[in-house]
Structure 1
């Protein structure tokens, strides 16, 4: 495509439903990821570039890989304990050497296999389907190359998005800057990314800027991307609450607005009230995963004049700006009925509609002016990611045998007590 030509392309947002069983093996994970591209296949434009955007934290449950028992533990806390017990020989050195929490040590210890599995799966799918692929996001360490070797930065684990071209080559990577409480020290224990490193990546499918979930609500992130000429905002999302519940995130945890009202402050506001951002793609994962519930309505948004049809999220008034919007499981009823339905869908509700979330796929044909921006220089981390993507895919080994439980249980209980006392 000549740089002088307008860019016309198709954007696709995939709204999948996940379960713990999708992550117990490399084969299960690859099949789940492939199913999302298969869902997109009938909607790929035959002659224009296609941009496919996947959901936030779609690689997080890979921590369950090789441990079917942990996947059936019922809660993330029990699953983490079982995983810690079975993987103590690899986790303990990380925990002690890098002075991180047990949950972060568990994820860092598995990075060589899980990061490669994630990246190689996305690379192969981008090539096979011939699409620009926003892989979603996954917990990933920061890496660098030293004397040709890939080296991990000690202690760091960010929520990270990787964007690939149709040849499976790296376009760029972005860390999430603003973490939710569930991503912080009391939950998954991730590291916030630096705002200063947010960049825009010019491509035939837009000048791509990433605002992972909460980042797309924050003025500092949107302002940073707009200052660099972002035209397409990518917002991978995993909303870990009933969609019709009340908002309770910082900076005001006592906020009593409907969550869907708050959601209008992210992609929709960025495109209808912003400066350079013309379009936004916001895919959301749904489904009950162990003891957590995920729900939402995926959307592709634009300027009001580009999307004059009046529509909006459930519990909000119709408005222009939605180019494509996934219906919720039910869009009619009183606010009280809809809020109750959100609870009925959630894990352990015992209701006949428990986990009956809606999967979906959205697409919209978008047009932008000719590309004028130049790609930003590679970071040291991106150079290391390129090296990983250039590797041939290798078989993924399963977890080894469990150590004697009596010994490991005692050590684990002691370590957890010491960690909690430190905090």
Structure 2
């Protein structure tokens, strides 16, 4: 029996205020499902795929003032001071960096907000939802299944899949981290290649390769060996789209960003084995001092999309079933200059004038032959949390003296920032 379904990729533009409060975050994610609503097919299952790290800026929740500092590095330093009791305890107990300690100290509340928001949206809109991804701990059930335990020091870039009834289908960690995700940046933990699995659903045998993972042969090979037919590539490309890039393991291989992107989803579908389709949504927008840009795409085999087209700065070719236009067309030098004008702190009139978009395509596959994988201890713990049958360990209240000292230090930092500027 043939599976017929609709795939939707949402390309949003984010901004720091979307993460200042729980209400703002829910509204921002809901706006993406609302954008998808007119395109949901009434006669077949729908798959909606959101973008990478759309939960990372939740570190700003409850502290919108930190955005005044202008850079993520300064904001993180100020937040560490304000949240010193909890963050310092994690830093000393789990021997992690300050930036990872800051994220882990607030992980219980932010994880709950992220998961419950995504679950509720999947249920409300009746879709299969790839939530994008967020930095989250790894959990396991303890104390008779009534409480979850967090793996000490672990914080991975995780993508979560929900079904249309709000049921958690599975979780995938990012295996290959970019330099900005490693110790010099937000300091995440790499996932384990051996834990990547394929999830059979009415919208395809889903395999997740978060951003850089979709460029890596070991990840694509493992997903193909598991029978993946639909590759999900949530993305947050932290650079101007028309800039040059050179990433590990071959930093000397410098080329235009769009040329590099042809090595991910497009190659997996046009030159691979089992993967028939790929959905690659990309977030755009300047977030404090960080720049995010790209072109979202839904790719397939050449015969699925014979019309030649491609990313900016690349030659047209078959394989793009749907493709978001970039903000402009023109000569390569003009596009490279425009990419810099759009970037954070450029001061140009077109700064942050990125294009929001949404792509959809009706796809079909033969009946699945992939078995549903056994849930991991982490997935079991998340299901228990969402069902309300397990809880987070009780947080230790901060001493009043510590809290007052932290607030005072942050106030001094803010005053210094206002006096001397950025």
Tell me the TM-score range normalised by the shorter chain. over 0.9
2:416 alignment partner in structure 1? none
Q: Displacement, 1:169?
A: 0.5
Cα distance in 1, alignment partners of residues 66 and 296 from structure 2: 30
1:141 alignment partner in structure 2? 137
Q: Displacement, 1:405?
A: 5.0
Cα distance in 2, alignment partners of residues 22 and 265 from structure 1: 32
Structure 1 unaligned spans of 5+: 413-423
Cα distance in 2, alignment partners of residues 145 and 179 from structure 1: 27
**Mapped pair 1:54 → 2:55:** no
Cα distance in 2, alignment partners of residues 225 and 153 from structure 1: 26
Q: Displacement, 1:406?
A: 8.6
Range with greater deviation from structure 2 (252-261 or 187-196): 252-261
Aligned partner of 2:344 among 326, 329, 347 = 347
Aligned partner of 2:353 among 352, 356, 360 = 356
1:85 alignment partner in structure 2? 81
Q: Displacement, 1:403?
A: 2.5
Q: Displacement, 1:404?
A: 2.8
What do residues 204-254 of structure 1 show as CA deviations (whole Å, max 9, x unaligned)? 000000000000000000000000100000000000000000012112223
2:113 alignment partner in structure 1? 117
Q: 1:381 to 1:405 in 2, by over 3 A?
A: closer
What do residues 331-364 of structure 1 show as CA deviations (whole Å, max 9, x unaligned)? 2x11111000000000010100000000000000
2:39 alignment partner in structure 1? 43
1:178 alignment partner in structure 2? 176
1:404 alignment partner in structure 2? 405
1:336 alignment partner in structure 2? 333
1:145-184 correspondence runs (5 A): 145-146=141-142, 147-148=144-145, 149-184=147-182
The question of whether the paired residues in 2 share the 8 Å contact of 1:88 and 1:408 is answered with no
Q: Displacement, 1:326?
A: 0.1
Q: Displacement, 1:388?
A: 1.8
Q: Displacement, 1:45?
A: 0.2
Aligned partner of 1:202 among 182, 196, 200 = 200
Q: Displacement, 1:373?
A: 1.3
1:383 alignment partner in structure 2? 380
What do residues 56-112 of structure 1 show as CA deviations (whole Å, max 9, x unaligned)? 000000000000111222000110011111111111110000000000000001111
The question of whether the paired residues in 1 share the 8 Å contact of 2:135 and 2:157 is answered with yes
1:23 alignment partner in structure 2? 19
The question of whether the paired residues in 2 share the 8 Å contact of 1:207 and 1:230 is answered with yes
The question of whether the paired residues in 2 share the 8 Å contact of 1:24 and 1:71 is answered with no
2:215 alignment partner in structure 1? 217
Cα distance in 2, alignment partners of residues 308 and 185 from structure 1: 43
1:240 alignment partner in structure 2? 238
Cα distance in 2, alignment partners of residues 390 and 73 from structure 1: 39
Structure 2 unaligned spans of 5+: 392-396, 414-422
What do residues 271-306 of structure 1 show as CA deviations (whole Å, max 9, x unaligned)? 000000000000000000011000000000000000
Runs (4+) of structure 1 exceeding 3 A deviation are 399-402, 405-409
The question of whether the paired residues in 1 share the 8 Å contact of 2:84 and 2:406 is answered with no
Q: Displacement, 1:199?
A: 0.3
What do residues 252-280 of structure 1 show as CA deviations (whole Å, max 9, x unaligned)? 22332111101000000000000000000
1:420 alignment partner in structure 2? none
What SS does structure 2 have at the residue aligned with 1:113? helix
1:232-271 correspondence runs (5 A): 232-271=230-269
2:420 alignment partner in structure 1? none
